[in-house]
Structure 1
């Protein structure tokens, strides 16, 4: 019963962080943000606000509770979240993240509730789904990086690899990019990316293309010196049956980056990010003129001290 006994501790922690982050979010006019991320070892949740909804992901851990006891404990936790954050239970969505789920599996559909709605970020509109997948469709930790892409995109040819639901593509298009090409292996997410473009009245097939492809193979089809700005946010590991090869970002990043650099114009920029905790960039073997670690500059207020991803600005 140790987990049940510590429910007041969870409530106190949530009260403290929510009060602080809510004020900061309001001051910055941000309506989607992370509140809690495994702050206490007994309560391994990430809790995110999506306007008037809350998205809770419970991480797999050895809690030692029987199934019925765990369900009762989880209901008590949801009750605390509802009370502290002043959100009705029916607007709180809970997902469970299993150990070692690779990015492909986390993108696969889990349910058929299809509870979708639109949210605002930086004056743009994005569709999120809190019921059917392990992730909402909008990675909140990239908020600042997306803004950077928007500010740098004017009149540029932009390539977004592993584009997921196309949020970086929308930002680039909103920044008046001359062209945006979005590439992903999932038809579902490419359609979602198109939907996000349409929500912002940016959909223009003459300028912005959506390519259904295995990125590792697609890299070999790229023309030399084509793109001014590339967004590269690959999974740490992927072994989808639809991929010709499996991806290991630590092993493969040099080869991938050098192929992308060949397709990038001289002086062009690659924003490269990944979530591997132990990732080490093999700088000497990357054919770039400049590599800058911009991880700290791209961490939003709600992810300070919690971020595990790395982010680099690479200039050809």
Structure 2
């Protein structure tokens, strides 16, 4: 075990040195440091300014609870030392929460920790304690900037908007109107807060609580200049009428989105399905371009499972 711990220490030291240098150079304060690089250390480790967010992936490790707790504490001490962050600023999420977690880090998962972070000159509220995701998907940093660059005076639709980071970027790019749609009231409220946080008038930018699959059928033809759609891979939320399977349903979804898009309008579409194959022949777009590599941030170069496309009607 000592040998493996040494491997983990060496790897984390090396990647942190490299990635933190790139982040400083680009003035980026929220970035991913490590993602499951060594299978025996199944963590995702992210910096949020002066705080560290760690998610432990649920994986069969063969340890009993006590041994696993001791191992995790050792890992966290190491992470604290290498990243030079005190334990009080480290937030741990286990993909499968154990009710009997007893360790020096126990209080971390009991405290609530929300903070405002900056990205691209904009502000976002993140929550490092209560959800499996923090509220800001760091892998779409470049995609958000691309959207911001091309929305001036345009009507924008953000589907499956989550906490509205794309919406904020679109408003910052001078969009005439940004409509944000999500099935979760929690996330929509969060998205509105993010908009207000950046000084945008939420009365000018509608927030719609709806099941996207049904909402698309209500849209008028040729309404939007730019649409962002970043759906879950699968969803069978009790509030959703239909079960969503992105591989099976993406062509139908995109065709409905394209109907609501003006001629020469743009659709950004991404998803996290590892084996996703775009069925281009079924999609009624003038052009479809795979921009996955173009939108890959420096801190996701080693491991990026999401796909990203730019469609033109």
TM-score by length of 1: 0.94
Aligned to 2:106: none
Aligned to 1:215: 212
Q: 1:76-87, aligned counterparts within 5 Å? A: 76-87=74-85
Task: Give a deviation string over 1:223-276, Cα, whole Å, max 9, x none.
Answer: 100000000000000010010011000000011000000000000000000000
Task: Give a deviation string over 1:134-175, Cα, whole Å, max 9, x none.
Answer: 010000000000000000110000000000000000000000
Matched, 1:51 2:49: yes
Return the match for 1:225 from 212, 222, 235.
222
**SS where residue 298 of structure 1 aligns?**
coil
TM-score by length of 2: 0.95
- 1:30 deviation in Å? 0.2
**Partners of 1:276 and 1:308 within 8 A in 2:** yes
Aligned to 1:236: 233
Structure 1 pair 199–233 and aligned structure 2 pair: CA distance change class (3 A) = same
Return the match for 2:172 from 147, 171, 174.
174
Q: Distance in 1 between matches of 2:146 and 2:89?
A: 32
Q: Distance in 2 between matches of 1:289 and 1:115?
A: 46
Q: Distance in 1 between matches of 2:9 and 2:48?
A: 20
**Partners of 1:162 and 1:184 within 8 A in 2:** yes
Return the match for 2:155 from 134, 154, 157.
157
- 1:97 deviation in Å? 1.9
- 1:295 deviation in Å? 0.2
Q: Distance in 1 between matches of 2:110 and 2:206?
A: 28
Give the paired residue count. 302
- 1:92 deviation in Å? 0.5
**Partners of 1:33 and 1:49 within 8 A in 2:** yes
Structure 1: stretches of 5+ with no match in the other structure:
99-110
Structure 2: stretches of 5+ with no match in the other structure:
97-108
Structure 1 pair 313–245 and aligned structure 2 pair: CA distance change class (3 A) = same
Aligned to 1:97: 95
Matched, 1:310 2:307: yes
**Partners of 1:160 and 1:168 within 8 A in 2:** yes
Q: 1:1-316, aligned counterparts within 5 Å? A: 2=1, 5-98=3-96, 113-205=111-203, 207-316=204-313
CA-based RMSD: 1.2
Q: Distance in 2 between matches of 1:222 and 1:238?
A: 22
4+ runs deviating over 2 angstroms: 111-114
- 1:112 deviation in Å? 6.8
**SS where residue 206 of structure 2 aligns?**
strand
